Amino acid sequence: MGTLAEIQTVTAGNELHVCPNCGYNRGFHTSFIRENTGKDEPVKPTPRRYHVILICPECGARYDVGWTCTLAEPDGASTGAHAAGNPLIPSGPGNL
C-alpha cells in the first residue's frame, strides 16, 4: 500500500461528485477520522466525534468538506444519532 494523500479542504457547493484532482465523476468513498486523535482520553466518556473524509476511488485524493458525525460506542450503546431518535436512520430489527 502507498502512503495516504494529504487531506485537502474543499467546499461542497451545490454538489460534489467530481474529483477536483483527476476528474473522476462517480462520487467518493468515505472514511472517518476521530476528533482529538492523539490527545489523552477524557476520564468521563464523551461522544465519539469524527470528521468525514471523502476519498477519490480513482486517484486516492482525500478531501475534508467540513462534515462531522457522532458514531455509536463499540459496545453498541449509541452516543449520537440512532434509529429511535433520528428520522434519517431506519428503525427496525438490527437498527437500535
Beta-strand relationship, 48-55 and 29-34: antiparallel
Residue 96 lies inside a defined structural domain of this protein: no
Do you know the residue count of the chain?
A: 96
Q: What is the predicted pLDDT for the residue at 40?
A: 59
Residue 91 lies inside a defined structural domain of this protein: no
Residue 33 lies inside a defined structural domain of this protein: yes
Alpha carbon distance 68, 90 (integer Å) = 20
Sign of dihedral through CA atoms 33, 35, 38, 42? negative
Q: What is the pLDDT of residues 9-32, one digit of tens each?
A: 999 888 899 999 999 999 999 999
Residue 34 lies inside a defined structural domain of this protein: yes
76 neighbors 59 (Cβ within 8 angstroms): no
Query: In total, how many domains does the chain have?
Result: 1
Q: What is the predicted pLDDT for the residue at 95?
A: 39
Residue 77 lies inside a defined structural domain of this protein: yes
Residue 92 lies inside a defined structural domain of this protein: no
Cell reading at 17:
461528485
Domain range for 47: 7-85
Q: What is the pLDDT of residues 52-80, one digit of tens each?
A: 999 999 999 999 999 999 987 666 554 44
Residue 42 lies inside a defined structural domain of this protein: yes
